[in-house]
Amino acid sequence: MSSSSSPLAAARQAMVDRQVRPADVTRRGVIAAMLEIPREDFAPESFRAAAYSDSPIPLGGGRQILEPRVQAKLLDLAELEPEEKILLVGAGTGYGAALAGKLSRHVTALESDPELADKARANLERLAPHVRVILGDLADGAPESGPYDVILLEGGVETALDSLETLDSQLAPGGRLIFVSLEGPMGRARLAAKGDLRGRVVFDAAATVLPGFARKPGFVF
């Protein structure tokens, strides 16, 4: 884990000052969490030195830690409150869940890859021990821990929006769903209320597609 006086800590401050704040991220809790949580601890060893670049971190198998700007803007959009129940879908190695854990006391992190889930548990035990990690199919959600005030997908949705109906059903009344809809060359971050999966587009966002939300290839003749 990084020292608060290390070069990586200085890089973390620069990430917030040069990438997060200029992206209209205004909630103090989000900024404080990104200053506190060491992104490099969630990265593969070969990417630790580049943990604060303005790009996603590959985790293998098409998975990634989101670009810092996108991660911060999604959390800012979610407007998490301390007593709300949160579900993070596609938790990877747990970076987004650790950030969310600084904003809410009730966070569940769902991951479909056993190796990534194990890494997330180890990371979160040190940095956000109240966050619960669950292994399971992402499209199925985690109904046993719901209903949720907020469900946030940490990756892209390439399928039709009705593929999110199972997650929508796990929202509490008045709950909100935040995800990146992969439409054309650039994804779009959407904020949807329970029962209204189209919601509204808030900003452009790049993300790789999450398992269970990839478009099926069409027939080729």
Is the whole model's pTM more than 0.85, yes or no? Answer: yes
Q: How many domains does the chain have?
A: 1
What contacts 170, CB < 8 A, 6 or more positions away?
A: 87, 141, 142, 143, 146, 147, 148, 151
Alpha-carbon distance 176 to 181, whole Å?
Answer: 15
We report the CATH number of the domain holding residue 143 as 3.40.50.150
Q: What residues make up the domain containing 101?
A: 55-205
Residues 6+ away with beta carbon under 8 Å from 146:
85, 87, 170, 171, 172
Tens place of pLDDT for every residue, the chain, 221 residues?
Answer: 554 558 899 999 999 999 999 999 999 999 999 999 999 999 999 999 999 999 999 999 999 999 999 999 999 999 999 999 999 999 999 999 999 999 999 999 999 999 999 999 999 999 999 999 999 999 999 999 999 999 999 999 999 899 999 999 999 999 999 999 998 778 999 999 999 999 999 999 999 999 999 987 754 44
Burial grade of 27 (CB within 10 A; 0-12, 13-18, 19 or more):
middle
Q: Is 82 a member of any domain?
A: yes
Say if 22 falls within a structural domain: no
Give the CB-side neighbour count of residue 210, counting CA atoms within 13 A: 30
